[in-house]
Structure 1
Amino acid sequence: MYSKLAFRNLKRSFKDYAIYFLTLIFGVCIFYAFNSIESQGIMLELSEVQKAAFGLVDQVMGYASVFISFVLAFLIIYANNYLIKRRKKEFGVYMTLGMDKGKLSKILFIETLLVGVISLAIGLVFGIIISQGLSLLTAKMFQVKISHFKFVYSYSAMIKTIISFGIIYVLVLMFNSVSIGKVQLIDLLNSSKKNENIKVRNVWVSVFTFIISLVMIGLAYYKVLDNGASTIGINGPSILLGAGGTFLFFFSLSGFLLKLVQSNKRLYLKNLNMFVLRQINSKINTVFISMSFICLLLFTGICMLAGGLGISSALNSDLKDLTQHDLTIINYDGVNIEEYFKEKGLVLGDYSDDYVNYINYKSDLKYNDIIKEEDRKELKDLYPIATNSEVQIISLSKFNELMKMDNKKEISLNPGEYSIFSDIKEANKALNTVIKEDKEININGNILKPSDNKVIELVAYNDIMKNNICTIIVNDNIVSDLTPYTSYVNMSFKNDDSKIIIAKIKEVNKISGDTYFVSNDKESLFASSSSMGATIAYLGIYMGGIFLITSAAVLALQQLSESTNNISRYNLLKKIGVDEKLINKSLLIQIAIYFLMPLSLALIHSIAGLEFSKRVITMFGSISIMKNVLIALAVLVVIYGGYFISTYFGAKKNINNSI
C-alpha cells in the first residue's frame, strides 16, 4: 500500500514538478563530469610532466566538489522543503483518514529513495556522455592531440557521485522526518490558507534605508576599483560592504515598493496589477532574504564564468613569449649562478654553448621616483607600482647578451645615460613618457638621463607570467657598487640536456644551504600554464554554472509552490469574471518581477565585478574579456531564461488545471 502511494505521488511529482527532478539530474550530471577529468587522460598524448599537471587539475576539481556538494545539498533540501509545504494539505488528508506520522514518514522515505535512484541513474548517464565532450576542451587547454577516441567512464567519479548524493538524500530523509514529526493536523489542513505575518514598515524609514543601501553599494564599487587588482587581499571589507548593501536594498525595497506603485493609481489599478503586487507583498518577510542571496549568487556566477575563462585564455596568450629559452635558472638571493655552480662541480659550458648568466641589481630608486602620479593611478593594478617597490637595474653588457641570444639588435649608451626595457605592454606608455620628458634618475649617486631609445620590449626569462614592469639599463661601471637582487641563467640546448641540468640543480639545492635555485624549463612551463589555465577555467565553469543553476532553481521552485498555494485566489478571480488570458498575463508579470529583481541588481554588480576581473586577467596576460563576458551572458540567458520559461508554463498549468 505504502509503495503504491509512493509510486503514485512520484508519478504526479514528475508531472507537476519536473524542474525539481531536472535540477537533481543536472546536479548529478555536472558533478560526475567534472570529477571524471582524470579518466580523460588515456585519450590524450601527454608527456610525463603534462600527466603530473593533469593530475593536479583533477585534484583541485576534487576539492572544489566538496564545496559544490554543500551548495547542492542546500539546493536539494531547500527544494524538498518547498515540495513538503506544497503537499501539506495532502498529508493532512492522509492523517484524517487515520494514517499516523510514522507511516507518513515511511511514504516519504520510499519517495525520496525512488527520487534518489532515478536522478542518480539518469544524471550519471548524461554525465558520462558530457564527459566525453569535456575531453575535447581539455585537449585544447593542454594544447595536445587526442591520440585515439575512446568512450570512457570514471569508476572513482561514479562512486564519489553516488556517495555525495547518497549523503544528501539521507539529510533530506532526516529533514522530512523532523518536519512531519513537528506538524499538527490542523496546520496541514489549513496551510494553503495561511499567509506570512506581514510586518508593515514605515515608508520613510524604508526610503532612508534604500538610500543608505545605494551609498553602501556605490562605496563598495569605488573601494574595490580604486584599490586595484594588485591589492585584492584588502578588498574583504569592501565586499562585505557591498553584500550588506544588497541585503538592505531588497529589505528597503520590499517596504516601500507597494506604496510607490500605489501612488500611481493609473498603474496600480490597471488590469490585475493590484492583485500581483498584493501577491508579492504577502511574502514580504522572506522575499528580501532570498532575493539578496540569489542576487549575490548570480553576480558570483557571472564573474566566475567570465573571469575563469578569461584568465585561462590570458595564460595561454603569452605562453610563447614566456618560453623562448629551453631553460631558465633563477636565484632570488642574487648569487652569481654560473660561478656558484662551478664551485659545486656543475659547469654550464659543458652542456650549452648558448647561455647568458646575468644579475639584476637593486638601488634606492623606486617606481614613484620615475613614473608620474597620474600614470601610477592608471597602473595601480600592477603590484610593484601599487606598493612602490624598488626598480631593478641591469648592466648594458649583460642586456646586450640577452638581446643577442634573442636575435635582436644590441643598444649603446653614452656616459650618464640609461635606457628601459619591459615585458608589460600596459606600462609602455608611462615608461615612454619618462623618456620623452627626459626624466633624471639617481642611482647610487649617479645622475642619469634617458637615452634616445624608446622602451625596449623583451621577455628576459622563462616564467609562468610576465612580471617585468620596468628594468633600468645602465653602463657597467654603475652596477659595480650596487647590491645584487635576482640572478638568472638563460640556456639553449642542441640536444635535450635540460633534464640533466634540472636533475643536477636539484642535487645542488640539497647542499646549497640557505640559497635556492629555481629551474623553469620550456616543457614544464607549458604543462604548468596549461594546468593552471584548465584549473581556473574549469572552476569558473563548474562553480559559476552551479551558482546560476542554484539561483534559477530556487526562484523557480518558489514560484511553482506559490502558484499552487494560490490556486484558491486565482479561482476567486475566475468566479468574479476575470478571463483566463488576463490571469495568465498577471501570472507572467508576477514571475517576471521575481526573476528580474535579483537579476537586475546582479547585472549592475557584474559591471563593477567584470571590470575588476578584467584587471586581474591583465596581470596574467593581454587579452580582451568581451568574448568571455558574452559567453557568460549566453550561459546566463540559457539557464536563467530556461528556468523562467519553464516556471511560467509549469505555474500556468498548475493554475489552469485547477480552476
Structure 2
Amino acid sequence: MYFKLAARNLKRSFKDYTIYFLTLVFGVCIFYTFNSIEAQSILMEVSEMHKNMFHLISEIMGVASIFISFILGFLIVYANNYLIKRRKKEFGVYMTLGMENSRLSSLLFIETMMIGVISLALGLILGIFLSQGLSVVTAKLFKVDLTGFRFIFSMDAFIKTILCFGVIYLIILIFNSIIVRKVKLINLLTSAKFNEKMKIKNIWTSVVVFIISVITIGSGYYIVLKNGISSFDKNILIAIALGAVGTFLFFFSLAGFLLKVVQSSKKFYLRNLNMFVLRQINSKINTTFISMTFICLMLFVAICTLSGGLGISTAMNTEIEDLTQFDMSFWDNEGEDIDTVLKKYNVDISKYEDNYVSYKEYDSGVSYRDFLSEKGLEDGNNYYPVFKNLPISVMKVSDFNKIMKMLNREEVKLKVGEYAVFGDISDMIKNLQETVDSGKEITIGDNKLKPYHGNVLEAVTYSSMMKQNICVFLVEDSIVEGLTPTRGYLNLNYSGDGSEIREALDVNIREYNGNDDLNTRYITKEEIKEQSTGLGALASYLAIYMGIIFLITSAAVLALQQLSESADNTERYNLLRKVGVDESMINHSVLTQVAIYFMMPLSLAIVHSIVGLKLASDIVAIFGGASMVDHIVVASVVLVIVYGGYFLATYSGSKKMIKGN
C-alpha cells in the first residue's frame, strides 16, 4: 500500500520534483564521467609517461570528488528539506486521517528511495555515454591518436558513484526520519501562516552595515591587486577572509537597505506591482542572506575556475615549442659545472654527443629595483624574483653565443664596457627595452657597464616546463671572474636517437634522484611535452568539473528557494486577481521577482570575478602567453547555459504553480 501511495505521490508532485530530479541526474552523470578518465587510456596509444599522467589525473579527480561529494550532499539535503517544507500541509492531512509518525516516515523513506534509485540509474546511464565522447576530448588534450573506438565502462567510477550517492541518500533518509518523527500536527497544518522576522529593523543600521560591507570588500580587492600572486602569504588569506565577510554583510544589510532606497522614489515604487514584488524580494533576502552569501561565492569560484583552469591548460601548450628547443637540458641549483658533476657519476657527455653547451649563471649583485623603472617593477610585481627584489643573473656572452649557434640565431657582439640583456617572458621585454633605451648603467663587481645599443633579446636558453628568465645580463667573459655562480646548465641535442645517453643517465643518475648529494637534474624534450599535455588536461578537467558542479549547485539552490517562495505566495497572487490584476501583469511580476533573485548573487559574483580574473590572468601569464579572453567567453557561455537554464525553468515552474493554484 505504501509503495503504491509513494509512487502516486511522486507522479502527482512531479512538478515539484523536476528541478531536484534533473539536478540529481546531472550530478551523478558528471561525477561518473570525470571519475572514469583513467579507463579511457585503453583507447589511445600512450607512452609510459602518459600512463602515469592518467593515473595522476585519476587520483587528483578522486580527491576533488571527495570535495564535490560534500557540495552535492549539501545540495541534495537542502533540496530535500525544501520538498519536505512544500509538503507539510499534505503530511498534516495524512496525520489528521490517522497516519502515525512512524508510518509517515516509512512513506517518505520509500519516496526518497524511489527518486534516489531512478536518478542514480539515469545519471549513470547518461554518464557512461558521456564518457565515450570525453575520450575523444582526452585524446585531443594529450595529443595522441585513438587506437580504435570501442565502448568503455569504468567499474571503479561506477562503484565510487554508487557508494558516494548511496551515503548521501542514507544521510537524507536519517534526516527525514528524524524530522518526521518529531513533527507536530498543528505545525504542519499552520506552517504557511508563520511570518518571517526582520533581522535588521532600523534603516540606518542597514545603511551602516551596507557601507561597512562595501569597505570590507574593497579592502580585500586592494590587498589582492597590490600584492598580486607572486607571494601566497597571509595577505592572500586576509583578502579572502575580507571578501567572504564583506559578502555576508552585503546580503545581511541588503534586506532593509534595498527596500528603503527604492521607496525613496515613490513614482517607481508605486508603479504597477513594483511595491508587491519588492516586498516579496525583501522578505526573501531577509531569510536567505546566508545561502545568498554562499551562492555568490560559489558563482565567483565557478567563473574564475572555468576561465583560469582552461587558460592554464592553453598556456602550458601554447609555448611548448619555445620550451623544447633542446633535446635535453640539465641544471644544478648549486651552480656546479654540469660536465664535472656528470663525470663524477660515470657519465661523460662527450663520449655520446658533441652538440652541447655547458654554462653557468652568476649573481650580478644588481637587484630588480636597481635596474627596472617604476613601471617595470609594477608590471613585473606578479613574478616572484621581481616581487622579492632578487639579484639579476649574469652569464658570459660567449656561452650565450654558443647557445645561439645551437639555435641557428644571430650572435651578440659586445664592446668593452657594455652589457646586453635577454629574457624569455614576453610581457617583460618591453620594460627591459625601456630601461636599456634610457641608457641605464650598471655596476657588476668593479666594472661599470653601459647598455649595448641593440634590442633586448627574447630567448629561451634551456628546456623546462615554463619560462623563468625574466632578465639576464650578458657581459664579457672576464667580468664574471670572482662572481658567485648561482646555477649551472647544460643543453644538448642528439646526433642520433639519443638512446645511449638516456640509457647511461638512467643507470647512473636516475637512481640518485632525491639524494641530497646530487643537486643536478635533467629533463628531455619528450618528457616536457608529455608532462605539459598531461598537466594541461588535468587543469582543464578540474576547471570543468568543479566549475560546472558549483554552477549547478548555486543555480539549483536559487531555483528551489524561488519555487518554494512561489508556492507560499499562491494565496497572495489569488488576492491580486480578485482585486482586478490581469494575468500578464502577474506573469511580469513573477518574471521580475525571479530575475532579481537570480541576478543579485550573480551581480556581486561578477564584480568579485573582475578582480579574480585579473589574478587568474596573472597566473596564466606565468605558464605562458595565452590570452584569457577566449576562456572568459567560454566560461560566460557555460554560465548562460547552466544558470540561464535554471532561471528559465524556475520562471516557468513558478508561473505554472501560481496559475495552477
- What TM-score results when the alignment is normalised by the length of structure 1? 0.97
- Give the match for residue 357 of structure 1: 358
Deviation larger for 164-173 or 604-613: 604-613
Q: Within the alignment, does 1:600 sit opposite 2:603 as a pair?
A: yes
Q: Which residue identity is paired with 1:572?
A: L
Please state how far the C-alpha of 1:212 moved relative to its aligned partner.
1.7
- Give the match for residue 575 of structure 2: 572
Query: Contact (CA 8 Å) 2:329, 2:524: kept in 1 or not?
Result: yes
Which structure 2 residues correspond to residues 123-522 of structure 1 after superposition, within 5 A?
A: 123-233=123-233, 234-493=235-494, 494-497=496-499, 499-506=502-509, 509=512, 513-522=516-525
Q: Which residue identity is paired with 2:405?
A: K
Tell me which of 624, 633, 651 is aligned to 1:630: 633
Q: Which residue identity is paired with 1:301?
A: A
- Give the match for residue 546 of structure 2: 543
Please state how far the C-alpha of 1:51 moved relative to its aligned partner.
1.3
Please state how far the C-alpha of 1:579 moved relative to its aligned partner.
2.1
**Counterparts of 2:578 and 2:197, CA distance in 1:** 27
**Counterparts of 2:25 and 2:35, CA distance in 1:** 16
Q: Which residue identity is paired with 1:503?
A: D
Query: Contact (CA 8 Å) 2:447, 2:479: kept in 1 or not?
Result: yes
Q: Deviation digits for residues 55-91 of structure 1, max 9, x if unmatched?
A: 2111111110110000000000000000000001111
Query: Contact (CA 8 Å) 1:332, 1:485: kept in 2 or not?
Result: yes
Please state how far the C-alpha of 1:513 moved relative to its aligned partner.
5.0
**Counterparts of 1:192 and 1:510, CA distance in 2:** 69
Across the aligned residues of Structure 1 and Structure 2, the Cα RMSD in angstroms comes to 1.5
Query: Contact (CA 8 Å) 2:365, 2:444: kept in 1 or not?
Result: yes
Query: Which SS does the other structure have where 2:136 is aligned?
Result: helix
Please state how far the C-alpha of 1:509 moved relative to its aligned partner.
2.5
Query: Contact (CA 8 Å) 1:331, 1:516: kept in 2 or not?
Result: yes
Please state how far the C-alpha of 1:199 moved relative to its aligned partner.
4.0
**Counterparts of 2:514 and 2:121, CA distance in 1:** 56
**Counterparts of 2:190 and 2:170, CA distance in 1:** 29
Query: Contact (CA 8 Å) 1:509, 1:517: kept in 2 or not?
Result: no
**Counterparts of 1:510 and 1:614, CA distance in 2:** 34
Please state how far the C-alpha of 1:651 moved relative to its aligned partner.
1.1
Query: Contact (CA 8 Å) 2:313, 2:536: kept in 1 or not?
Result: yes
Q: Deviation digits for residues 460-516 of structure 1, max 9, x if unmatched?
A: 111110011011111111112111111111111122325314404535736975232
**Counterparts of 1:505 and 1:436, CA distance in 2:** 48
- Give the match for residue 112 of structure 1: 112
**Counterparts of 1:579 and 1:466, CA distance in 2:** 65
- Give the match for residue 102 of structure 1: 102
Q: Which residue identity is paired with 2:446?
A: G
Deviation larger for 546-555 or 139-148: 139-148
Q: Deviation digits for residues 358-414 of structure 1, max 9, x if unmatched?
A: 111113221111111221012111111111011111112211111111111222222
- Give the match for residue 639 of structure 1: 642
**Counterparts of 2:253 and 2:106, CA distance in 1:** 43
Q: Deviation digits for residues 497-537 of structure 1, max 9, x if unmatched?
A: 25314404535736975232211111111111111111111
Please state how far the C-alpha of 1:146 moved relative to its aligned partner.
1.6
Q: Which residue identity is paired with 2:462?
A: Y
Q: Deviation digits for residues 142-164 of structure 1, max 9, x if unmatched?
A: 11122211121211101000000
**Counterparts of 1:648 and 1:346, CA distance in 2:** 72
Q: Which residue identity is paired with 2:62?
A: G
Tell me which of 585, 588, 591 is aligned to 1:588: 591
**Counterparts of 1:643 and 1:508, CA distance in 2:** 55
Distance 1:593 1:343, change over 3 A: closer
Deviation larger for 563-572 or 8-17: 8-17
Query: Contact (CA 8 Å) 1:198, 1:284: kept in 2 or not?
Result: no
Please state how far the C-alpha of 1:6 moved relative to its aligned partner.
0.9
Query: Contact (CA 8 Å) 2:210, 2:257: kept in 1 or not?
Result: no
Distance 1:507 1:301, change over 3 A: closer
5+ residue gaps, structure 1: none
Please state how far the C-alpha of 1:287 moved relative to its aligned partner.
2.5
**Counterparts of 1:645 and 1:350, CA distance in 2:** 71
Q: Which residue identity is paired with 1:471?
A: V
Query: Contact (CA 8 Å) 1:195, 1:282: kept in 2 or not?
Result: no
Query: Contact (CA 8 Å) 2:206, 2:254: kept in 1 or not?
Result: yes
Query: Which SS does the other structure have where 2:289 is aligned?
Result: helix
Deviation larger for 62-71 or 212-221: 212-221
Q: Within the alignment, does 1:556 sit opposite 2:559 as a pair?
A: yes
Query: Which SS does the other structure have where 2:360 is aligned?
Result: strand
Please state how far the C-alpha of 1:573 moved relative to its aligned partner.
1.9
Query: Contact (CA 8 Å) 1:344, 1:508: kept in 2 or not?
Result: no
- Give the match for residue 73 of structure 2: 73
**Counterparts of 2:516 and 2:293, CA distance in 1:** 54
Deviation larger for 491-500 or 547-556: 491-500
**Counterparts of 2:228 and 2:514, CA distance in 1:** 41
Query: Which SS does the other structure have where 2:198 is aligned?
Result: coil
5+ residue gaps, structure 2: none
Query: Which SS does the other structure have where 1:282 is aligned?
Result: helix
- What TM-score results when the alignment is normalised by the length of structure 2? 0.97
Distance 1:566 1:608, change over 3 A: same
**Counterparts of 1:262 and 1:583, CA distance in 2:** 21
Query: Which SS does the other structure have where 1:552 is aligned?
Result: helix
Please state how far the C-alpha of 1:195 moved relative to its aligned partner.
2.1
Query: Which SS does the other structure have where 1:345 is aligned?
Result: coil
Q: Which residue identity is paired with 2:187?
A: D
- Give the match for residue 617 of structure 2: 614
Query: Which SS does the other structure have where 1:465 is aligned?
Result: coil
Please state how far the C-alpha of 1:12 moved relative to its aligned partner.
2.4
Distance 1:229 1:579, change over 3 A: same
Query: Which SS does the other structure have where 2:402 is aligned?
Result: helix
Q: Which residue identity is paired with 2:125?
A: V
Q: Which residue identity is paired with 1:43?
A: L
Query: Which SS does the other structure have where 2:470 is aligned?
Result: coil
Distance 1:35 1:597, change over 3 A: same
Query: Which SS does the other structure have where 1:485 is aligned?
Result: strand
- Give the match for residue 32 of structure 2: 32
**Counterparts of 1:566 and 1:357, CA distance in 2:** 78
**Counterparts of 1:224 and 1:284, CA distance in 2:** 29
Deviation larger for 290-299 or 566-575: 566-575
Query: Which SS does the other structure have where 1:153 is aligned?
Result: coil
**Counterparts of 1:442 and 1:505, CA distance in 2:** 42
**Counterparts of 1:141 and 1:387, CA distance in 2:** 35
**Counterparts of 2:277 and 2:631, CA distance in 1:** 37
**Counterparts of 2:200 and 2:481, CA distance in 1:** 77
User: How many equivalent residue pairs?
Assistant: 658
Query: Which SS does the other structure have where 1:151 is aligned?
Result: coil
Please state how far the C-alpha of 1:641 moved relative to its aligned partner.
0.7
Query: Contact (CA 8 Å) 1:101, 1:180: kept in 2 or not?
Result: yes
